[in-house]
């Protein structure tokens, strides 16, 4: 079975602005690092370019009024009602092509879902995707269109049951909101506690409602959580819940901002642990839609997503980064030479581990009995 990769380089013409932490050029550096390792030339890999989502596809989650405001804002000029929709100076700027940007990222994620549904790909990766904060009528958290939701809606329309697992440092609030009332999507978000970081949600007692009661799972982590914490969450929460739920398709949001050294978050995952997550996902032997997400240390982002695509294709990449990429990346101020960097052997602080114990105990009393008894 072949694997699909979206080539993001057509998206590099867009720009959130020189002072904004969301650097679109990281997509080019990530793709070019995959290319430098020979991953894009593998026989089992095929490349697609992004297409724009249609208004009908976008309206499976977003409302007409918001899409119209975003479309009018595409010129980069101020128009009325921007602020009511979360647009303007700050997190969600209006820039030339903002509608095309959001709809192209979303269309690329929908393309990936379509490739899985058609049986052309066993796994598909849109590194530009994972923009999980956008809400039906507003932009939020650097996210204008919620591509994970639109891609999952495509899978649901084909009758698939979906598990969505999000390891971005920020809670996947937009995706949780979309599927909070359904048991056809299991959402699992592992993130820095909302008491300490945007968007201020994703607490352990947010577990879904109505038919979705028990199908929203949140694992908030205190700042300072390291590999030992992420390893436990994977083994004690994600693995057993996925085994019990038995989805038809897994969708993973692979934000790279949970890693040590990120500019915005305060977690301490290593690239080695990120790679272990990718190996876990591949080992599930399910159709796999992988999306990018946050990440504000550009070197970490490029390395993390290259590791994922190596794992997706069952290639054990050498740790020494190709010289040509090192030279190119230096022009962006990126100076990485090791693909994985050092292992994180220092344990998480005791108060972080104690808080995790409380979270796991709560989940085992609430969502575990529900998921374990379904089907």
Does residue 170 have an active-site annotation?
no
Task: Pinpoint the alpha helices (H) of 62-164.
Answer: 64-72, 98-117, 147-157
Beta bridge partners of 46: 4
Helices (H) and strands (E) in the chain, counts: 13, 8
For the chain, helix, strand, coil in percent to 5 are 40, 15, 45
Q: What phi, psi does 255 have (nearest 5°)?
A: -55, 135
* Paired tokens of 52: 């724009």
User: Please, how many CA atoms are within 13 Å of residue 259, restricted to the half-sphere of its CB?
Assistant: 28
Catalytic position from the list 62, 85, 132, 133: 133
* Paired tokens of 321: 């980064």
How far CA 273 is from CA of 106, 213, 253, in Å, comes to 28, 31, 15
DSSP category for residue 238: I
Taking a C-beta distance cutoff of 8 angstroms, is the pair 274, 256 a contact?
A: yes
Active site members: 133
């Amino acid at each position: 079975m072949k694997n699909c990769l979206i080539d993001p380089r057509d998206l590099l013409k867009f720009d959130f602005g020189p002072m904004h932490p969301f650097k679109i050029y990281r997509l080019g550096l990530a793709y070019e690092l995959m290319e430098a390792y020979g991953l894009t030339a593998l026989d089992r890999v095929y490349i697609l370019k992004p297409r724009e989502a249609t208004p009908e596809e976008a309206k499976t989650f977003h409302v007409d009024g918001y899409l119209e405001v975003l479309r009018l804002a595409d010129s980069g000029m101020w128009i009325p009602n921007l602020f009511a929709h979360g647009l303007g100076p700050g997190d969600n700027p209006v820039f030339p092509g903002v509608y095309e940007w959001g709809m192209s990222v979303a269309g690329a994620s929908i393309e990936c879902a379509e490739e899985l549904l058609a049986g052309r790909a066993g796994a598909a990766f849109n590194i530009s995707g994972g923009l999980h904060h956008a809400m039906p009528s507003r932009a939020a958290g650097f996210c204008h269109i919620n591509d994970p939701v639109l891609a999952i809606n495509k899978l649901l329309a084909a009758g698939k049951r979906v598990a969505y697992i999000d390891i971005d440092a920020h809670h996947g609030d937009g995706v949780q909101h979309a599927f909070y009332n359904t048991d056809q999507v299991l959402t699992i978000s592992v993130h820095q506690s909302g008491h300490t970081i945007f968007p201020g949600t994703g607490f352990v007692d947010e577990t879904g409602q109505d038919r979705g009661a028990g199908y929203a799972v949140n694992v908030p982590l205190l700042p300072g959580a390291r590999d030992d914490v992420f390893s436990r969450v994977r083994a004690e929460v994600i693995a057993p819940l996925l085994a019990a739920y038995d989805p038809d398709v897994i969708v993973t949001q692979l934000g790279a901002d949970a890693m040590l050294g990120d500019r915005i978050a305060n977690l301490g995952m290593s690239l080695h642990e990120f790679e272990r997550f990718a190996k876990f996902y591949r080992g599930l032997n399910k159709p796999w839609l992988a999306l990018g997400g946050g990440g504000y240390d550009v070197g970490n982002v490029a390395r993390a997503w290259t590791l994922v695509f190596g794992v997706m294709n069952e290639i054990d990449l050498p740790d020494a980064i190709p010289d040509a990429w090192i030279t190119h990346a230096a022009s962006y101020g990126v100076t990485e030479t090791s693909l994985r960097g050092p292992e994180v052997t220092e344990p998480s602080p005791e108060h972080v581990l104690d808080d995790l114990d409380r979270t796991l105990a709560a989940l085992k009393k609430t969502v575990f009995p529900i998921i374990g008894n379904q089907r």
